[in-house]
Amino acid sequence: MAASEAERDKPTRRGRRGRMLVIVGALAVTLVACGGTPELDRPTIEGGAGAPDGAADVTCRPALAPDDPHPVRDGAHGQHPDLRDIDATVEPLMAALDGEYRDVAGGLWLDQATGEVVVMLTDPDILPELRELVARPELVTCMDATSSQAELERLQRAANEALTGPGTTGIDTVANRVEVEVEEDPDEVRARLVERVGEDALAAVSIRLPACAEVEPVPEHGTELPGGASTCGGMMALTGGTLTGDEACVWLELDTGEQVGMVWPRGWWFDADGVVHDHQGAALAQIGDQVAVGGGFGTPGAPGCGPDDEGRWVVASLASDG
């Protein structure tokens, strides 16, 4: 069964020269709508699901603490029976949150454990108004939010501008924050972001270096390959040929004899025997090998090795066919 999406902002990957590539998947939280689970009791909170329309003194769920379990990302729930046919409730809410309520709402998500549509609100008194918009108001509850959707989107744009190397940004609706994964020094990204939005705004931003971006130092006997491309992903095209090079660099020769320049990922290197190693030291292929190379052509002028008449191949993966 296809999954719906809740206030999702599609993450982007910024290349070294400002190139933006769409990344499959998202940091923003999705509305899980597959599988099945037994019906569970829905907790009743003051002004929460099950309260009369227009109830006063609305109280939302407390905001999610950074170390709390994430009810969507960390959950193993299937689809709650009450949320099987939820479009008539979600669609008008989504339209409202993307319109007149953008400055008080931080998106919505489906709680498959309790069978509720949870709206992130900076002002809980708005909940009765939102319930009046839907066919099943008893399913709609709220969670405390510090930042509105509009504020999170502004922060995400600023985070994209603060990246100088590869990285991804996205909005985590449930956590009510912008998630940033970088392939450069997180402290430097943080400092540039502070210049744009101020220190206080960073309470709604998480900046981290993922494991795939951790680069081992190039050993003394190794020669670093130029490029600075992402170590966490890239374009998905595939080409092949013979790995070739000299004492200074490595590139590709096609079966036609054409030479293809290469933009290598950060921290990749080769040794005196012509063996290419990745950013964590693993040996991948040797000069003279027939290889398969994942990635795609970049724009001319990117740092790398070999010909650059029409752009070099930006390497995402390398494997020997031998």
The answer on pLDDT for 43 being more than 50 is no
The answer on pLDDT for 304 being more than 90 is yes
The predicted model gives 9-29 an average pLDDT of 32
Q: What is the pLDDT of residues 77-124, one digit of tens each?
A: 888 999 999 999 999 999 999 999 999 999 999 999 999 999 999 999
Q: What is the pLDDT of residues 253-272, one digit of tens each?
A: 999 999 999 999 999 999 99
The answer on pLDDT for 10 being more than 90 is no
Predicted pLDDT at 106? 96
Asked which of 10-24, 132-146, 168-182 is least confident by mean pLDDT, the reply is 10-24
H or E element, residue 25: none
The mean pLDDT value of the chain amounts to 84
Predicted pLDDT at 78? 87
Against a cut of 0.75, is the pTM above it?
Answer: no
Beta strands in 226-309 (DSSP E): 227-229, 237-245, 250-253, 259-260, 262-265, 269-270, 275-277, 283-286, 290-297
Phi-psi label, residue 211: left if phi above 0, alpha if psi -120 to 50, beta otherwise: alpha
The answer on pLDDT for 2 being more than 70 is no
The predicted model gives 188-206 an average pLDDT of 96
In the chain, where are the structural domains located?
1-209, 223-320
Bigger pLDDT: 63 vs 233: 63
Rounded to whole angstroms, the Cα distance separating 188 from 191 reads 5
